[in-house]
Chains A and B, each alone.
Chain A
Amino acid sequence: MTTPMVEAWHVSKRFGSLVVLRDVSLVVPEGEVHCIIGPSGSGKSTFLRCVNHLEQIDEGELRVGGELVGYEERDGRLHELSYRQTAARRSRIGMVFQQFNLFPHLTALQNITLAPSLVRRTPAAQSRERAMQLLERVGLADRANAYPMQLSGGQQQRVAIARALAMDPELMLFDEPTSALDPELVGEVLQVMRDLAQQGMTMLVVTHEMSFARDVADTVIFMEGGRVVEAGPPDEVLVAPRETRTREFLARVLR
Chain B
Amino acid sequence: MSSSRPTTPLPVVRRRRLGRVPAMIVVVLVATLIVAALASNPRFEWGVVGEYLFSPSIVQGAGVTVGLTVVAMAIGILLGIVLAVMRQSGGVILSAAAGLYIWFFRGTPQLVQLIFWYNIGALYPKLSLGVPFGPQWFSVDANDVVTPLATAIFGLGLNEAAYMAEIVRAGLTAVGPGQREAAAALGLSRWHSLTRIVLPQAMRVIVPPTGNQVISMLKSTSLVSVIALAELLYSAQSIYTRTFQTIPLLIVVSLWYLAMTTVLTLGQRQLERRLNSGARGLRPAAAAPRPHE
Contact = CB atoms under 8 A, between A and B. Distances in A.
Interface of A: 52, 54, 83-84, 87-95, 97, 99-107, 114-115, 118-119, 147-150, 153, 163-164, 167, 179-183, 208
A92 B185 CA distance: 9
Given A103-B179, A104-B281, A107-B281, A167 B292 contact: no
B278 to A, nearest CB: 11
Interface string B21-46: 00000000000000000000000000
Interface string B257-293: 0000000000000000000000111111110011111
10 contacts: A90-B186, A97-B182, A100-B289, A114-B186, A119-B186, A149-B280, A164-B186, A167-B186, A179-B292, A183-B292
Interface of B: 178-179, 181-190, 192, 196-197, 200-201, 279-286, 289-293
A94 to B, nearest CB: 8
A104 B293 contact: no
Given A97-B182, A103-B179, A208-B293, A118 B192 contact: yes
B186 A101 contact: no
A122 to B, nearest CB: 13
A95 B289 CA distance: 19
Nearest to B190: A83
B182 to A, nearest CB: 4
B197 A103 contact: yes
Contact of B184 (A87, A107, A150, A180): A87
A5 to B, nearest CB: 17
The listed residue with most B CB atoms (<10 A of its CB), out of A90, A115, A148, A150, is A115
A221 B218 CA distance: 64
A180 B197 contact: no
Contacts of B197: 103
Contacts of A181: 289, 292
A107 B178 CA distance: 17
* Leading 3 A-B pairs by shortest Cβ distance: A91-B187, A147-B281, A101-B182
B185 A118 contact: no
Contacts of A150: 280
Nearest to B286: A149
A219 B188 CA distance: 31
Nearest to A87: B187
B280 A115 contact: no
A6 B282 CA distance: 37
B211 to A, nearest CB: 20
A50 B293 CA distance: 24
Contact of A149 (B179, B196, B281): B281
